[in-house]
A and B are shown apart, each in its own frame.
Chain A
Amino acid sequence: MVLQVRHVSFGYDATHGFALRDVSLAVERGSLTGLLGPNGCGKTTLLKLMAGVLRAQQGSITLAAAGSGPAGRAVGRALADIPRRELARHIAVVPQETHPAFDYRVIEMVLMGRHPHLGPFALEGPGDLAIAHDALAATGTGHLAARSYMSLSGGEKQRVVIASALAQQPDILLLDEPTASLDLAYQLEVAALLARLNRERGVTVVVATHDLNLAASICRRLVLLRAGRVLAQGDTDAVLTGDTIRDLYDVDADVRFHDRSGHLTVVPIGRIR
C-alpha cells in the first residue's frame, strides 16, 4: 500500500453537511487509479484530503514509505503527522486550473516544484535545474522553458503544470480533472503522458475526472463516488459497467471493449428518469 484512506468523513461547514461520508480506498504503489463521479460527488474534496490540504474530521489517511517498517513491510503514518514539506516530497497535486497572479516563465513555474527539496533560502542549484529540465522534457515542453506561462495554449499550460508537479519528484501524483478544459487532441496527449509516466517512471497516479472514456483508457482501477460515498471500487473492467454508470449518472450507457483503441469505451444512450 502506498496511500490508505480509512473511513474518512469530511464536511466543509455545518450548513453544507458532509461532502464525504465513510470513504475507504487504497492506492497501491505504481497504480493508475481513477476517481469517477458526477459534479459535486466529492472527487476534488477527496483529492485535497489525500494531498493533506484538508484534514478529515473522521477516519484517517495514512502514507507508507517503501520498506519503512520492520521486515520491509510498509508502515503507515497519518498525513496529519507528516510535516508539510516532507509530505510534499511524496505527494504532488495538479489542480484543475492554475492561474498565477504574476507573469512567471515556464522554467520558473517548474522550479517552484523543487521547493520542498530546497533549503531555508530556497535557492535552487544546478541539480534542481537539471531535474526541472528533465520534468519539462518528460512532458514534451522543454522548448517552452523560456516562454511566459500565460502565453501558452491550454494544453501546453496543463503539461507545464504537470511538469512542475513532476519536479517535486513525488511518489504519488494526484490530478484534478486534468483534461476538463482541453481540446480533444490535448486530452489525448495528457492521457498518453500520464500513462507513460506511470509505466516508464513508476509514478503512482490518481486522476479525478468525469470523463468516463479518459478513465477507461488509462486507469486500471476505478473508484466510483456518488454524493460523498463510494459506490464501487476495483479493477476497471469489473467496475465500469452499464449498471454502475446508471447508478452513478442516471444515464443508460453502453460499455464495450473497443478493438482499435484497446480499452473499454462508454457510449451514453439516454437519460433515465
Chain B
Amino acid sequence: MSATSSSVATPVGAGLRPIRLRLTLTVLGYGALALVVCLLAPLVGSTSISVSRALDRSIPFADNVDAQIFFLARLPRVLAGATVGAALATSGVVLQALLRNPLATPFTLGVSSGAALGAVVAIAGGMTVGLGPLSPVPFASLAGAFLVSAIIYALGTRPGRPMSTDVLLLAGVTLNAFLSALILLVQYFADFAETYRMVRWLMGDLDAGGFLPIAAVLPLLVVAFAMFATLPSALNLLSVGADTASTRGVSVPRTQRVAFVATALATSAAVTLAGPIGFVGIVVPHLVRLMTGVDHRIVLPASALFGAAFLVACDLVARTVLAPVELPVGIVTAVIGGPFFLWLLVRKS
C-alpha cells in the first residue's frame, strides 16, 4: 500500500497531507501574509503621506518629507516589528516545548526581568556608556538579560544529563519575582521623571530610532534562528517524553541547551530592541497551533512568520487608532492577547 494511495483512498490520510507539502504550503502562506502586512504597514501611519511622492527620486531627499517619513521613520519601525515579532513568537514555541508547558512565554525564564532591571538601573544611574551602535539603556538591558539567562542556565544544567525543567521553571519564576522587587526598589529611589521613563520603557516601543539599533542586535538574531532551525523535529520528540526522545536518537541535553540558548539570545535581542512586549510569545504559538496542528516542524516557521505579521499589525493599530497620539504597542498586544487567552481557557474547559 503506497503512501499516496493511502492518503487518498482511506480516511486515515485525508486529514494529514504529506509533511513536505504541508511545510511548503505553510511557509508560502504565512510568508505571503507576513510580506503583505510588512508592505502595507509603512503606507499607513499617524500622518498621511503620498507613497508615489515618497518613492519619487527626482525630489531631493532633504526636501521630500514623505520620503523621510517613509524611509527614516516607518520602514525601520516595520522592520523592527517584524524581527521582534518573529523572535518572540518563535521563542515562545520553543520554550513551551522545552518546559513542556503550553503556558510558558519567552519571559518565563527571567530574560525580560533581567533586561528591565538593566534598563531601569541605566535610567536611574544616568548611564552614559554604550556599546557601539547600542545606546546605554539598550546596552544595559542586553547585559541584564544575558546575566539572568546565565544564572538560570547554570542552575538548571547538569553535566552530561538532561536539564531539570522543574528547576528551570522555578528559577525563572523566583528570579522574576526577585528582580521585580529590585526594579520597584530602583523606581522608588528614582526621581519622578526617571520613574516615568522606566514605566514607559516597560511598555515596549518599536520606534527603535533608525536601522542602526536593529543592525546592532541582528547578529544575535541570526545565530538564534540558525539554532532554532535545528530544533523542530527534536522538539516533537522531546515533548512526547525525554526518555522516549533519547531512545529515538535525540540527544536530550544538547537539544535542551540549544533550545535554551537560542531562546535567550532571541528574546534578549527582542527586548533590547523594543522593550518587553508581552503576549506575542504566547498568543501567536497558540493561534498557529489552532490553525496548523502541533507538529513543531510546521509550528516553528509558521509562528516566526505569523509573529512578524502579528506584531507589525498590532503596531499599525497602535500608531493609528488614536492618531496623532501613538499607543505603546505592548498595550495593543495585551488588549488583544488578554481576552484571547481567557477565551482559550474557557474553550479548553
Contact = CB atoms under 8 A, between A and B. Distances in A.
B interface majority secondary structure = helix
Nearest to B247: A93
B19 interface: yes
A118 B250 CA distance: 12
B241 interface: yes
Given A48-B243, A88-B249, A98-B241, 18 more contacts: A84-B249, A84-B251, A85-B249, A88-B247, A93-B244, A100-B241, A101-B97, A102-B102, A102-B289, A104-B295, A108-B295, A109-B240, A115-B250, A116-B248, A123-B20, A124-B18, A130-B1, A146-B11
A107 B16 contact: yes
Given A84-B250, A92-B247, A108-B295, A123 B2 contact: no
A159 B247 CA distance: 18
A31 B7 CA distance: 36
Q: How large is the interface on A (under 10, 10 to 19, 20 to 34, 35 or more residues)?
A: 35 or more
A114 to B, nearest CB: 9
B52 interface: no
B328 to A, nearest CB: 32
Most buried by A among B1, B7, B12, B251: B12
Contact of B244 (A98, A108, A145): A98
Contacts of A146: 11-16
B101 interface: yes
Interface in B235-268: 236-237, 239-241, 243-244, 246-251
B349 to A, nearest CB: 15
B37 to A, nearest CB: 27
A105 B11 CA distance: 14
A113 interface: yes
B233 A122 contact: yes
Contacts of A112: 236-237, 240, 248
Contacts of A121: 233
A87 B251 CA distance: 12
Interface in A125-178: 125-130, 133, 142-143, 145-146, 168
Interface of A: 48, 51-53, 84-89, 91-93, 95, 98-105, 107-109, 112-113, 115-116, 118, 121-130, 133, 142-143, 145-146, 168
Nearest to B23: A123
A107 B10 CA distance: 13
A255 to B, nearest CB: 34
Contacts of B276: none
Nearest to B296: A102
Contact of B18 (A116, A126, A133, A168): A126
B294 interface: yes
A87 to B, nearest CB: 7
Most buried by B among A87, A122, A128: A122
B248 A115 contact: yes
Q: How large is the interface on B (under 10, 10 to 19, 20 to 34, 35 or more residues)?
A: 35 or more
Most buried by A among B7, B19, B289: B19
A168 B1 contact: no
Contacts, number: 121
A128 B2 CA distance: 10
B87 to A, nearest CB: 22
A19 B2 CA distance: 47
Nearest to B11: A146
Contacts of B233: 115, 118, 121-122
A113 to B, nearest CB: 7
B322 interface: no
A108 to B, nearest CB: 6
A129 B248 contact: no
B82 to A, nearest CB: 25
B232 interface: yes
B19 A123 contact: yes
Contacts of B239: 100-102
Contact of A133 (B6, B100, B295): B6
Nearest to A104: B294
Contacts of B13: 107, 129, 145-146
A133 to B, nearest CB: 6
28 contacts: A48-B243, A51-B247, A52-B247, A53-B246, A88-B248, A88-B249, A91-B247, A92-B247, A93-B244, A100-B241, A101-B239, A102-B239, A103-B294, A104-B240, A104-B294, A109-B240, A112-B237, A115-B250, A122-B232, A123-B19, A123-B23, A126-B18, A129-B3, A129-B7, A130-B3, A133-B3, A133-B12, A146-B15
Contacts of A123: 19-20, 23, 297
A121 B236 CA distance: 13
Contacts of B130: none
A145 B12 contact: yes
Given A101-B100, A102-B294, A126-B2, A84 B12 contact: no
Given A93-B243, A115-B249, A130-B3, A122 B297 contact: yes
B48 interface: no
Contacts of B294: 102-104, 108
Contact of A116 (B11, B20, B241, B249): B249
Given A112-B236, A133-B1, A95 B243 contact: yes
A130 B6 contact: yes
Contacts of A126: 2-4, 18
B33 to A, nearest CB: 23
